[in-house]
Amino acid sequence: MLTYSFKRLVQLFVTVLGVVTLVFFTMRLIPGDPISAMAGDNLSGAALDQMRGQMGLNDPLPVQYLTYLGRLAVLDFGTTVTTKLPIVGLILGALPVTVSIALGTIFLTVLISIPLGTLAAYMAHKGNRMLDNIITGVAMVLDLMPPFWTSLVCLLIFSLTLGWFPASGTVSLDDPAMLLRRIALPVLVLSMAQIATLARITRTSVLEVLNEDYVRTARSMGWSELHVLFRHALKNAALPIVTVIGLSFGNLLNGTVIVEFIFTLPGIGNLLVGGMNSRDYQMVQTLIVFYAMIFVAINFTTDLIYRVFDPRVQF
Amino acid sequence: MALISIPLPAHRSIQFNFSSLNGTIRLLSNRRVQLALMILVPILLLTVFRPFLPIPGPLETNLRAMTKPPSFVHLFGTDRMGRDILSRTLAGVQISMFVGFAVALLSLTVGLVMGTLAGFFGGVIDRVMMTITDIFLAFPSLLLAIGLVSVMGTGMLPVVLAISLSDVPRFIRLQRSLVLSLRSRAYIDAARTVKASQMWLMTRHIVPNTLAPLLVAASIAAANAILVEAGLSFLGLGIMPPAPSLGNLIRDGQTYLEQAWWISTLPGAVILLIAISLHFLSDGIRQVLDPRSRK
């Protein structure tokens, strides 16, 4: 186990280094450089040169690359190009909003999709195809609805027509009630897409377990159907479900960018879109690396959980 | 050589000849494929024949019909400049379809070549390629596309390239695993014993048998590309206005959501229909190809 974790950790490190390298060199491929992009035509050649010198852009590329790596190692992400604010501060300030959306979504998704998927599996097992087909069909449609469209439809129905949730308003951790009301719709929208995937996997893995001998044994011992379903079937089907929750995190991160933009929530997704629109490459570069790191770390954890809890997995 | 090309029963299960009439009939008699075609064909026909329909052009403004709700004259209503939403949606579908098709074709081709090489030769090539795909797969797809667009700029070509780049690693992985499982089949050993060259083995015995699963993956990739393109355009990072991409249309209507719900919601519903039908299509193809899933 320890050797395996170590091997995976080395692999993780190589991937992260690859991500950083890739992002660094791709950003240097931009025609012109960040300085001329932000300065426009207003500055003379000499002034531009001076600014380049200040930012180290006149050094040879390998030197620039090593300097960049050195800074990353001490978590110095630099400052934004336009406002000169430290990027780490901005990210840390925006992170709580994104994290609350993500956690809320995972909570709601698990709460709805696991009972739903189990029910569908049970119905399919009992030969009732109708309910199973309906649940599976609805799950597919939900899965394919583009989140930005669902957001607008929800905004139209719940905020503008029914007035249940505010469409705007300041969001901060000091006012949890407001925060909850503001993130309710985004969480709902993101959950819709996640519920589909999770319900489908729950259905498949529970259905598989229901055909196992030990479930039949449990039944023949006189356990009630509910007991068999939740204590014997769902428990043994839990592993793939946990894995899928971990793996669907990438999708969730994609989704947070979109909902934060639509519902004007000050999370890191909004920082990214803002950075793109103001051509702040420093910011975009840092955020893309940051997202990739979160994603890789979560995949790593999921993989370890899987191996810790499934004694059948060989090392 | 003719003798060796005769497929053994074990690998016939995934072989599927699309040029044969029998195969086409089997595909067309699948319920999901029928359902998919029932949605896709009308949308495609309307898109292709849009210039001949009695509706205004997608960029034509009409100051006497600004922000009109859906009616018989304007089935999907009009936007704030009096442009016909139906016409713009159909023009958007054309762009979406092009993006979906281009991405599917590009990532399928690149994935096919690189995945075959990695799976067939193994060794250093395989390890290097797997490390590189690992790096690309470390980015959530929309975010990778955003990063790439920030480098390559906006517009049709960068968008297609950006989305393809995030799909290619998945295709390489898929193709590699297919090749790995085929490589050790008995019929490949049989071909080796009569001195079939590496090239012959790859192009005549392995690649044809991987096409069917790749095609299933490609139709899902097309649906996904359409959604990602719409997402990028919606964020203002994809295809630039006034080109009426579906994402642009939804973005346009966002500001007027309260006064004119139809501008955003109707084009979005069309995206959903296309995505659903492409998924049905891939599901249907898979059912036809995989005898185990047939009931």
Residue range B113-152, pLDDT digits in tens: 999 998 888 888 888 888 888 888 888 888 888 888 877 7
Tens-digit pLDDT profile for residues A172-220? 667 777 777 788 888 988 898 888 888 888 888 888 888 888 888 888 8
Q: What's the pLDDT at B13?
A: 43
Of the CA atoms within 13 Å of residue A66, those in its CB half-sphere come to 4
Residue B268 has its nearest CB partner, among A149, A253, A258, at A149
Distance between CA atoms of B263 and B89, rounded to whole angstroms? 10
- The CATH number that domain A90-309 falls under is 1.10.3720.10
- Residues contacting residue A246 through CB under 8 Å, at least 6 positions apart: A298, A299, A301, A302, A305
> By mean pLDDT, which of A34-48, B7-21, B258-272 is the weakest?
B7-21
Residue B245 and residue B160 in contact, taking contact as beta carbons nearer than 8 Å:
no
Question: A33 falls in which pLDDT band (50, 70, 90)?
Answer: low
Distance between CA atoms of A77 and B193, rounded to whole angstroms? 59
Residue B140 and residue B170 in contact, taking contact as beta carbons nearer than 8 Å:
no
- Residues contacting residue A154 through CB under 8 Å, at least 6 positions apart: A185, A188, A189
**H helix runs in B153-293, sequence order:** 156-183, 186-193, 198-200, 207-234, 246-254, 262-289
ipTM over 0.85: no
Q: To the nearest whole angstrom, how far is the Cα of A91 from the nearest Cα of chain B?
A: 16
Residues of B within 8 A of A15 (CB-CB) are 131, 134-135, 138
Q: What's the pLDDT at A34?
A: 56
Contact B139 A292 (CB under 8 A): yes
B103 has pLDDT over 90: yes
For residue A273, the one-letter residue type is V
Residue A286 and residue A21 in contact, taking contact as beta carbons nearer than 8 Å:
no
* Domain locations in chain A as residue ranges: 2-73, 90-309
| Number of Cβ within a 10 Å radius of residue B280 | 24
- Beta bridge mates, A86: A79
> Can you give the pTM of this predicted structure?
0.81
Q: What's the pLDDT at A95?
A: 85
Residue B47 and residue B97 in contact, taking contact as beta carbons nearer than 8 Å:
yes
> By mean pLDDT, which of A58-67, B85-94, B216-225, B272-281 is the weakest?
A58-67
What residue ranges define each of the domains in chain B, with the CATH number in brackets?
86-280 (1.10.3720.10)
Residue B254 and residue B247 in contact, taking contact as beta carbons nearer than 8 Å:
no
Q: What's the pLDDT at A44?
A: 65
Q: What's the pLDDT at A39?
A: 56
Tens-digit pLDDT profile for residues B231-268? 888 888 888 877 788 888 888 877 777 777 777 788 88
Residue A291 has its nearest CB partner, among B135, B143, B253, at B143
- CA dihedral B242→B246→B252→B254, nearest 10 degrees, is -170
What are A's interface residues with B at a Cβ cutoff of 8 A? Answer: 11, 14-16, 18-19, 22-23, 26-27, 29-30, 140-141, 144-149, 152-153, 155-156, 160, 250-251, 253-254, 257-258, 261-262, 272-273, 276-277, 281, 284-285, 288, 291-292, 295-296
B16 has pLDDT over 60: no
Exposure letters A8-21 (e unless 16+ CB within 10 A, then b): eeeebeebbebbbe
Q: What's the pLDDT at A197?
A: 80
Distance between CA atoms of B204 and B7, rounded to whole angstroms? 11
CA angle A283, B139, A75 (to 5 degrees): 45
Number of residues that make up chain A? 315
